[in-house]
Amino acid sequence: MGVEILPPDINLSESRFTVVENSIRFGLDAVKGVGEAAVEQILMAREDGQFESVEDLIKRIATRKVNRKVMESLVKAGALDSLIPVADSDPQNGDLKKSGINMVRAMAMKRTTRLMDGRNNLSLFGQQSFFGSNDAEEVQPWSDEDILNAEKEALGFYITGHPINKYKKLLKLMGILKTSRLEELGDTTEVAISGIINTLKKTLTKGKSEPMAVYVLEDDEGTVECIAFPEIYRNYSDLILKNNLILVRGTIDKSEKGIKILTREITTPEDAFLNQEFKLEMRLDKNIMKDSALREIKDLLYKHSGNCPVYIKLKAGDYETTLLTEYNIKPDVEIIDTLEGITGIGTVKLLRLNGHKETHHANNNHSFRRTRK
């Protein structure tokens, strides 16, 4: 079992990282923009008891040491999540699972900025009356991208997830390699990997002074340095941007200094998926599949018409056969999830027409075809 990394918490974090059972919690001084003086002030105020709300926190700390910028950094890091009551995060029914962290972070930022801007009003108005009853209704929840970008800005890490998670199933369907698997492969092996460009250095070649780029690609399991020589950089400079999520095909270059990827082609996960040919295969058991479920499947396939042929691997007792249906669909993660909701997890597979279910390195003739906007 891996060690869980917990975000900083205004009521639970110390100055430094702390170990909590099988978890490690961020310390408050790990939050960028929060200095030592501010951390000392927060911990000193907490000696009188945990903070009960954002309002309570701001009333008990000194303005000079814990200013608005510090407070906003704490919100971005998730340190104030525990100060937003569940009922406040979702005025409809108080269901945190429904509203989630997206509304919690939005509420924390809204309350923090309003209170810091009107701090003096706290001496005139009670905590309950400072905000109107429709305070939560005025707030738009943060998007998943907003949350992850804020965490990266405040902590230098993604805590609640990773931008690549949005495409995880799509990338798995395409057999895209994880950075953690690169060590297993030999030098000059062709690979396809995907991730966020977390660092980017543009430079010039020594001879002709042509522009090229060295960038670090990060997925949810690690990082790898990639090199885009002049011709490649010219072709894909619009995609080689910091914080951009890309899919790279290239060649492993192993040396004493480590592993690098020599970039050959770049695209986005969506375009890579659309430019591959697949067939969809569903495994059905005739003895347990109800007629109503079959009708639901047919309706779904009909509504998602496309070019991907649909096969059914039909089982009846000890007998099993594969049948080509009359349906052709436009495949995506959503329809696969919906079909598996009917037929069961693991019963639907998207197979590339070259017959490989998973590609650890690129050994076929498929190339990325760019979709120019």
Sequence-ordered list of residues with C-beta below 8 angstroms from that of 122, at least 6 positions apart, any chain? 55, 58, 59, 115, 130
Residue 130 has a pLDDT of 43
* Predicted pLDDT of residue 334: 83
How much is the mean pLDDT over the chain?
A: 84
Q: Which pLDDT does position 151 carry in this prediction?
A: 94
Q: Which helix (H) or strand (E) holds 68?
A: helix 68-77
- pLDDT at position 354 is 57
Q: Residue 86 has what pLDDT?
A: 58
Give the phi and the psi of residue 52 in degrees, each rounded to 5: -95, -20
- Ranges of residues in the chain with a pLDDT under 70 are 1, 86-99, 118-137, 354-373
pLDDT in the model for residue 336: 86
Which of 292, 322, 321, 296 is closest to 309 using CA atoms? 322
Q: Is the pTM of this model over 0.75?
A: no
- The rounded distance, in Å, linking the Cα atoms of 8 and 59 is 20
**What's the confidence (pLDDT) of residue 260?**
97
The confidence score (pLDDT) of residue 171 equals 87
| pLDDT for res 7 | 92
Rounded CA-CA distance 354/356 in Å is: 6
To the nearest whole percent, how much of the chain has pLDDT over 70?
A: 84
Q: Residue 94: its pLDDT value, please? A: 40
- Sorted by where each starts, the structural domains of the chain and their CATH numbers stand as 4-160 (no CATH), 168-272 (2.40.50.200), 278-352 (no CATH)
Q: What is the pLDDT of residue 179?
A: 95
Closest C-alpha to 353, from 315, 321, 324: 324
From residue 350, how far is each of 153, 259, 339 by CA, in Å? Answer: 37, 31, 12
User: Which tokens go with 227?
Assistant: 């090199």
Identity of the residue numbered 310: V
The pLDDT assigned to 93 comes to: 41
Long-range contacts of 221-225 (CB under 8 A, 24+ apart): 221/178, 221/179, 221/180, 222/178, 222/179, 222/180, 223/179, 223/195, 223/198, 224/179, 224/182, 224/193, 224/259, 224/260, 224/261, 225/258, 225/259, 225/260, 225/261
pLDDT for the residue 311? 94
pLDDT (tens digit per residue) in 264-298? 999 999 888 877 788 899 999 888 888 899 999 99
Instruction: Kindly state the DSSP code that residue 245 receives in the 8-state scheme.
Output: E
Residue pair 347/284 in contact by the 8 Å Cβ criterion: yes
Q: Distances from the Cα of 171 to the Cαs of 21, 168, 174, 370, in angstroms?
A: 33, 5, 5, 18
